[in-house]
A and B are shown apart, each in its own frame.
Chain A
């Protein structure tokens, strides 16, 4: 068995920006424990394993691991895996076209490939579900949990609120870039001010620019309780916040998200809330940069 891999930076057009991902191929006979050990060794936020699909109508079966656990679904691993396979041009003896469909624990996940001059440069993920907006949180407690003064959270449009899309996030708005830059991820503060039951993923954003059906935000995601001091680009959170905005407005929305700037890994997520014919869906688009290619010699 030869295990080979590529790593990509996802949600960026610039090497060393975005969110790193390792994509492993040839792991058909690996046990779950071996995949977990490999994901932990890569120490990237996520590692995916690409395997033959159970149904030949689909592109591949994809399993997603953080260094600590397997995930049913996540955003940047899908965008990165789809782009990497499209760049290769073929998988399991079949060509990769302009759309791929992955079999994952959450169900089927479809992505469209973004091309520039024929070359695959990114992918558009359609969220397999709409997010669920849940419990609200006290703004001053959320401010204290991220090391900000009492009044730092903006509540004019929505209170800090829990949104579920597979994972559960706590989403809160802050006034401007300076406040966003002053926030920090501290597991102790989060536990002290929000309690054990609060989501460990805290997503803060500030509005940069807005139009009737257009919004540009800058965000940061802290999950120190989950072992991630700060995440440079969070696809699932992009879906969650689009779902939150869907409850606050009518019509469709183009949402541009800059994330990871403060931590030195600038990322760009292009999100669309699409409402047509009584149905609604959310897509997240991102570009990817190839970074490394190699093989795992230890297995």
Chain B
């Protein structure tokens, strides 16, 4: 058995920005424990394993592992894996077009490949689960976890609330860009604040372009994601969290249609990322959420330990 891999930086077009991902091929005979060890060895926020689909109508089965556990679904691994497959042009003996479908624990995930001048540059996923919101968290708890004062958490549009389109996140809007830049995760508070403990991950954001930033901005939203008790002090680009954010923002709108937002994440930690979000809203509910972005190839190699 020869295991090969490629690594890509996802949600960026510059190597060493975005969120790194390792995509492993040839792991058909590997047990889950071996995949988990390989993911830990790569030490990225996620590593994917591309396996033959059980239904030939789909492109591949994709298993996603963080350093600690297998994930039912995640955003940047799908965008990165789809782009790597599109660069290769084929999977399991079949040529690939601009629509891929992955089999994952959370369900089937449709992926749309984006190409420029005939070359794939990135991909967009459609979230596998219906959008839902859950309990609210206390403003004081959220503020303590990200090192801000309660007054720096905005509550006019929504209070800090659990939202999910596949993976749940606490989503909190901040007062201004300065608060976003100053935010810093407090591991102790994440482990003790009663209304945060059950969720563990906070996506905080500001809307740009309005009074928040005193002018225009090249993006609509700036976000940061903290999950220190999951061993992710800060994540440079979190597809699943921004799926949740897009669903939440769409659900707050009165008129039906498609909400389109450009979201910058990872800027403060030196891995700038750009996520493109879309959410369809009609008949009083969110009907589809999509997150996409570009990818930069970084490394290619083989695993010697098998």
A positions within 8 Å CB-CB of B: 5, 7, 9, 15-16, 20, 37-38, 40-41, 43-44, 186-188, 227, 229, 289-299
Contact = CB atoms under 8 A, between A and B. Distances in A.
Nearest to B3: A292
A7 B22 CA distance: 14
A16 B304 contact: no
Contacts of A295: 299-301
A298 B302 contact: no
Contacts of B231: 229
Interface in B1-59: 5, 7, 9, 15-16, 20, 37, 40-44
Nearest to B17: A37
Interface residues of B, number: 27
Interface in B251-302: 296-302
19 contacts: A16-B37, A16-B305, A41-B15, A43-B43, A43-B44, A289-B305, A290-B305, A291-B41, A291-B304, A292-B5, A292-B41, A292-B301, A294-B5, A294-B301, A296-B299, A298-B15, A298-B16, A298-B297, A298-B299
Contacts of A9: 41
A260 to B, nearest CB: 12
B98 to A, nearest CB: 23
Given A290-B305, A291-B303, A296-B298, A41 B16 contact: yes
B304 A290 contact: yes
A37 B16 contact: yes
Contact of A188 (B7, B186, B300): B186
Contacts of A16: 37, 40-41, 305
Contact of A187 (B20, B40, B187, B298): B187
Contacts of A44: 43
A294 to B, nearest CB: 2
B298 A41 contact: yes
B107 interface: no
Contacts of A187: 187
Contact of A292 (B9, B187, B302): B302
A184 B7 CA distance: 32
Nearest to A16: B37
A186 B190 CA distance: 13
B210 interface: no
B229 to A, nearest CB: 11
Given A16-B40, A289-B305, A294-B5, 10 more contacts: A5-B299, A9-B41, A40-B16, A44-B43, A186-B188, A290-B305, A294-B299, A294-B302, A296-B299, A298-B296
A227 B41 CA distance: 17
Nearest to B233: A227
B153 to A, nearest CB: 22
A64 B303 CA distance: 23
A296 B299 CA distance: 4
Contacts of A41: 7, 9, 15-16, 20, 298-299
Contacts of A297: 297-300
A44 to B, nearest CB: 7
Contacts of A296: 298-299
A297 B301 CA distance: 10
A294 B186 CA distance: 37
A292 B42 CA distance: 10
Contacts of B9: 41, 298
B299 A20 contact: no
B20 A292 contact: no
